Amino acid sequence: MGVKKTATWILVCVLVLTSGGLLEGKVGENTKIYTVFVNQGCSCPAGGTPEGLTTNEEVLHKLQSECRGIDFIARDLTKPDTSLKAVLNELEGPKEGLDGVLVLGALGNREYKLAFTGLPTICVYNLFEWMNIPYKLYSTGKENSIKVGGPEYKGGRIITAQLDRRNVCDPSVSSAMFEDLVSKIKIIQAIKKLKESRILVVTTTKYLGQVDYQGDANKRFPGNYNQTYTRALKESLGVELVRIEPKEFYEAVKKVKAREAERIAQMWIDEAQGLKDTTKPEVVKTAKSYLAFEALRKKYNCNAVSTHMRSLTGSGKIEDLFWPGFGLMEFQKRGIQAICQEYENIMVAHLMGYYLTGRPSMLGDLMIDTFNNVSILTHCGAPLNPWGDDRRIPHIIWSHAQSPVRGTLKPGSGTGAQVNYPANEPVTIWKVYVLHKKIGLHTGKTVDGHSLYKDFDGIMCRTKLVVKVDDAKKIQRHSSPDEYGIHRAGTLGDIRERIKALATLIGFEVMEEDK
């Protein structure tokens, strides 16, 4: 069976399967994107369809091949049995089963309602067709961007893409257009995964993200803060918080099998370059915490862990102190996002970063050095697999920098990881502000801090991610701990444009701190 016939058969099957109406979405199901082919891929002059034109069926087949886990619910307006009115009626109905909309081709009659369903939407311009795509309206959502007396468009969450359906560009350029579209479609898939996320929250603090609270210089929390934040997170991104009491963690620790904790601790020691000023029993305590968190994560059906626990028992004794970093790094190796200081705004960035790139992120305190032109994240650990694959970063196990008995080898010294990031890696430093529906970010490249600072390993936290930026002074002008908190996420790769596209599709604003 030829490619065209195969693709046609696939399109027919999709149309038949969905002809009864939109499907109800369920957790774990494929991402469902309502896909409308407006025309045949070009503005055809007299003489018919250009030779070599990529057909609608071929486009659909290519998308299905490149976008695993995505179902394209196709509607083709060039077919006699499909009308624009029927498509609009379908989209005006319940949309619980849909995750996004894909519109391919310019609407000749200037009917733009297809793009304003409130769902994440991608509008695609086919190169060399009449450019009846109102980019200004799509990007601003403002009524004054169209003629007076026109219809009112609201609720748009729209990004655009372009395809060379005539195949007139250099093949590398045509491929880049298609790859860009696939990348944007996968952002809708990331948004669906966010909606399915459940974060296990284990902390002794009264308020969520208490140490990193933004909005009040005196850190006065409104009485309903936890409820307000939890509701805002669910309503804007679909992410659920599952908060449990510390006593559940203490009980889970008691149930941990000592032999299993020993095994995991030895694995961590073997993977590290060395054990420095701490002991194996301290590593075992961290392993116990990891196994306890894992049991609770499974119990509450969560795919992320956010915690600020520092005692295995709640006794208040120094010898019971632990720091969970290595356990949370083990989660990240497994594709489960985890942070050690229970900052939900950072946790959301970690989830977004992972769903966008497949890469785990580092949590750290942000510092800015304008004379060396760097921004720095410092913490006692970072993902050992920041590329999201089998590669691992060299690291050393230390006592924890916050331990009152660090460096003494006494019980309670804890564990921290000195993770040595390689130089010259693109990186994005960023954070999500859920209550304000904003994302702040800047980008740069990693640099070896030993080339800039003496006694670099002994300064503050064990891990330092040092990022050379274009203009640190611009970033510093955005620095305001009471507004933005002191912590950020660091994700390898320059993902600025993907974050900006994602923000548009979820209705968030982006603050580019280096602009």
Q: What is the per-residue pLDDT for 6?
A: 38
Q: Which of 195, 225, 246 is the last residue before a domain boundary?
A: 195
Model confidence band, residue 106 (pLDDT cutoffs 50, 70, 90) = confident
Note whether 160 and 207 are same-domain residues.
no
Note whether 256 and 373 are same-domain residues.
yes
Percent of the chain with pLDDT over 70: 90
Q: Specify the residue for token string 């356990």.
A: 327
Q: 0.95 cut: is pTM over it?
A: no
Q: Which of 195, 224, 255 is the last residue before a domain boundary?
A: 195
Note whether 118 and 261 are same-domain residues.
no
Note whether 275 and 314 are same-domain residues.
yes
Give the DSSP letter string of 10-38.
HHHHHHHHHTT-PPPP-TTSPEEEEEEE-
Q: What is the per-residue pLDDT for 221?
A: 80
pLDDT in tens, 402-416: 899 998 999 999 999
Residue 209's domain comprises 198-512
pLDDT of 378 above 50: yes
pLDDT of 290 above 70: yes
Note whether 503 and 363 are same-domain residues.
yes
Q: What is the DSSP letter of 282?
A: H
Q: What is the per-residue pLDDT for 482?
A: 80
Note whether 322 and 445 are same-domain residues.
yes
Note whether 184 and 297 are same-domain residues.
no
Q: What is the per-residue pLDDT for 107?
A: 75
Note whether 55 and 156 are same-domain residues.
yes
Model confidence band, residue 139 (pLDDT cutoffs 50, 70, 90) = confident
Q: Is the dihedral of CA 430, 331, 195, 222 positive or negative?
A: negative
Round to whole Å and give the CA distance between 34 and 12.
Answer: 15
Comparing 96 with 104, the larger pLDDT belongs to: 104
Please give the single-letter amino acid code of residue 193.
K
Q: Specify the residue for token string 């020993």.
A: 262
CB-CB contact of 192 with 30 (8 Å): no
Q: Which of 136, 163, 195 is the last residue before a domain boundary?
A: 195
Note whether 170 and 103 are same-domain residues.
yes
Which stretch of DSSP H or E encloses residue 329?
Answer: helix 325-333
CATH number of the domain that residue 26 is part of: 3.40.50
Note whether 409 and 437 are same-domain residues.
yes
| Counted domains in the chain | 2
pLDDT of 20 above 80: no
Please give the single-letter amino acid code of residue 488.
R
Model confidence band, residue 70 (pLDDT cutoffs 50, 70, 90) = very high
Note whether 16 and 153 are same-domain residues.
yes
Note whether 215 and 298 are same-domain residues.
yes
Q: What is the per-residue pLDDT for 485?
A: 86
CB-CB contact of 484 with 438 (8 Å): no
Round to whole Å and give the CA distance between 403 and 497.
Answer: 40
